[in-house]
Structure 1
């Protein structure tokens, strides 16, 4: 799992933090909640890194498509519906491409298996 480089402007944009939005769009450093600069990768970059390591990607998902802008606030009523909506959006384009996080599932074949 990694932050999605291609979607880092979504949270500040939805929160109306325009200077932070422009920084993200321009590829500037991103500070996390702990005040630490964190790394992010595009889906294509993650797939390439896994392939170079000999791992075959079997699936990838977007995480926090619709709820990332809430930060740590609870999603409120209808949690089951929110969860279902996040799951459905996180497994298909174009929604998973704007998710805050990317979750890749990959495997490597071991000798003799």
Structure 2
């Protein structure tokens, strides 16, 4: 019983901190498409990014990976429908400070990262 309580406490802390773990993926943002580019703070080691549409459909134009002052754009140019996921491999593990996502449409989506 004590082990279950600790697990619930750890899960509550992770959710409160804004990061939800799904396997070895971490959800770093839940966003609505449209209204200009989105800036997401990441501050972790990342090798892959996944964008999962949770409502309607979204168009992801570009994902810019920030490593301090260095930026690397990744062209996606893809429509993602509800339930579908688009993965972006950024190579070896990079210490990512943030992401800038250019999107369109009116759906909702989650951004997940994997180290």
Is the structural similarity TM-score above 0.5?
no
When Rg is computed on C-alpha atoms for both structures, the one with the higher figure is 1
Which interval holds the TM-score relative to the shorter structure? Answer: 0.3 to 0.5
Per the normalisation by structure 2, the TM-score is 0.33
Task: Name the structure with the higher strand share.
Answer: 2
Task: Name the structure with the higher helix share.
Answer: 1
Per the normalisation by structure 1, the TM-score is 0.33
